[in-house]
Chains A and B, each alone.
Chain A
Amino acid sequence: MTLILRRTAIFLVSVVVASIVVFAFMAVLPGDPAQVALGVNATPELLAKTRHDFGLDRPLVSQYFSWLGGVLHGDFGRSYVTGEAIGPQLIDRLGVTLWLVGAGMLVALILAIPFGTLAATWHRRVSGAAISGLSQLGVAIPAFLAGILLVQVFAVQLRWLPSGGWTPPNQDVGEFLRGLVLPAVSLGIVQGAVLTRYVRSAVLDTLGQDYLRTARSKGLRPYPALLRHGLRNAAVPVVTVLGLQLTTLLIGAVVVERVFVLPGLGSMLLDSVSSRDLLAVQGIVLVLVVAVLLVNFLVDVAYVLIDPRLRSAERVSR
């Protein structure tokens, strides 16, 4: 339990530090948001007034705290460029990205768990080596390339699925799902390849373990033995890697959103950067970074929950 508390503390501290880093980075940026908002011909008085409205004439520390305070309430401020509240749009876009990431992870797991396990159990046969080789290939393909190719085949040639666009689930579930398939698969195939290799390694390692031999000597058949005893043990290293993979998925989603024209956080980020909407960029980057930290934190906790060896004494060496 103390281990979990420690991890939570570290997580919270990391979030705070990250927020400071993000804020500082944005504050250091050359360029004056007021200028950007008003254009070249603004008068000095108007600029000064706008700066005051934006709160930019206050000391940095106070700006930071009021920003952070707002964020904790879900208020990400108002865009310097559009004047609209950033929060609601951010939440909407985040939702889209989360659907994408979630579906991508699902596809990846659906591919990796069976294929990885088979690659391990068949590791002496040609079929096992083939799966292994395929996964090496899958790792080498960028997600957006997979996306482009999938669009070409399924959207343009076969016309089975749309080549882009987004329908919210509450509007039309059918269209929502159809629009989600290709992007999720693009993300999922690549991540699936990476995960397959890890699953294969984990299962292979488990297969060689003595406790499986004990299980067989009790009278368990090979597959039930693997399922009952091997699965949880194999899951440990895979879960470790899962967190890292979620980070990669998140970033992959940013790129895939471009290919499929999805209104997600990634495209919002890119748009905000090009329009120099710095407050929006600040908010989005913070959300993304906190998401990554959160995922890693959850993985750490899951790790402790799965493996009882971590619960008792503190690990001596890390």
Chain B
Amino acid sequence: MNRNLWIGSVLVGLVVLAALVSFVWTPHDPLKVDAAVRLAGPSADYWFGTDKFGRDVASQIMVGARTTLYVGVIAVGVAAVIGTPLGILAAMSKRWLGELVMRVNDLVLAFPALLLAIMLGAVYGASTVTAMIAIGIATIPSFARVARSATLQVMSTEYVLAARAGGRSRLSIARRHVLRNIAGLVIVQCSVSFAIAVLAEAALSFLGFGTRPPTPSWGRMLQESQELLTVEPRLALVPGIAIAVAVLGFNLLGDGLRDRFDPRLQDRTKSTRGTSSARRTDRVRMSREIQERR
């Protein structure tokens, strides 16, 4: 288990743990307003202190973790479920169809998550749901691209060429070979996209286009902390660190999984022999990324 995987899992685990525990127990009611304890500092009772309304920050962070994870799971889920088949399809169809799908893909990429969320918010009123859907739609292209380039590679392996020569239908090839082989890369993309989704949700909540009050959300906690920054920087630092932990965790997890799944890193053939493992890793990573991009 490499180091990235380790640290990433621990960080993500922390966030998930906080969210799960929050269903059963939080130190205080995160929504409870108590003017008497406004802006209290950290103590045994209020681990991270309280905010300007007297709400317990720690509890807000824990429940906020839920929001973060909800949005991430739904957004990434939607994107993976729609994007992956699209990418596979694009790789397996005739040249012009595949090209067309990728062009449409590029077009969707031109509508960044924030923009979509703002547009959706304009129509339906901003909420967690609009944020989820917007981020989800904006993430579809990444999955489509990864799925497509991975499928193209699988399709050109001798194994698959033999199967096609033997007369196997494309659908059965997809089922048997493609899905199994690209699963790893799709999982990696899930992790990376999750990190991006967390950042996007935070930004949206910060702008007021995400989770509506009073549901706790890390991004909104940051926005609320702005006016009191001079007096209580803690109110900005705590949610800020929470966001950073989540994003870092998912990124490292993704990197770790990537190294784990890439068969080329196990490869000891001539082209990489003699290079140090660090260089080999990076060389493979770079060519991966370029391939995904194009």
Contacts and interface: CB of A to CB of B under 8 A. Distances in A.
* Chain A bound to chain B: yes
B51 to A, nearest CB: 15
Contact of A145 (B102, B106, B236): B236
Contacts of B103: 10, 14
Interface stretch (B16-24, B25-33, B112-120): B112-120
Contact of A240 (B109, B113, B275, B290): B290
A151 B228 CA distance: 12
B222 A273 contact: no
Given A152-B230, A152-B233, A258-B206, A285 B119 contact: yes
Q: Is the interface of B mostly helix, strand, loop or mixed?
A: helix
Interface in B243-294: 243-245, 247-248, 251-252, 275-276, 278-279, 282-283, 285-287, 289-290, 293-294
Interface in A155-205: 156, 198, 200-202, 204-205
Contacts of A226: none
Interface string B70-92: 00000000000000000000000
B119 A237 contact: no
B110 A18 contact: yes
Contact of B248 (A137, A237, A244, A247): A137
Nearest to B113: A251
A164 to B, nearest CB: 11
A144 B123 contact: no
Q: Is the interface of A mostly helix, strand, loop or mixed?
A: helix
Interface string B85-109: 0000000000000000011001101
A244 B292 CA distance: 12
Interface in B201-243: 202-203, 206-208, 222, 225-226, 229-230, 233, 236, 240, 243
Which 5 residue pairs across A and B have the least CB separation, nearest first?
Answer: A140-B248, A140-B247, A140-B244, A204-B282, A292-B110
Interface of A: 10, 14, 17-18, 21, 25, 28-30, 123-124, 136-137, 139-145, 148-149, 151-152, 156, 198, 200-202, 204-205, 207-208, 237, 240-241, 244, 247-248, 250-251, 254-255, 258-259, 269-270, 273, 276, 278, 281, 285, 288-289, 292-293, 296, 317-318
Interface of B: 102-103, 106-107, 109-115, 118-119, 121-123, 149, 152, 156, 195, 199, 202-203, 206-208, 222, 225-226, 229-230, 233, 236, 240, 243-245, 247-248, 251-252, 275-276, 278-279, 282-283, 285-287, 289-290, 293-294
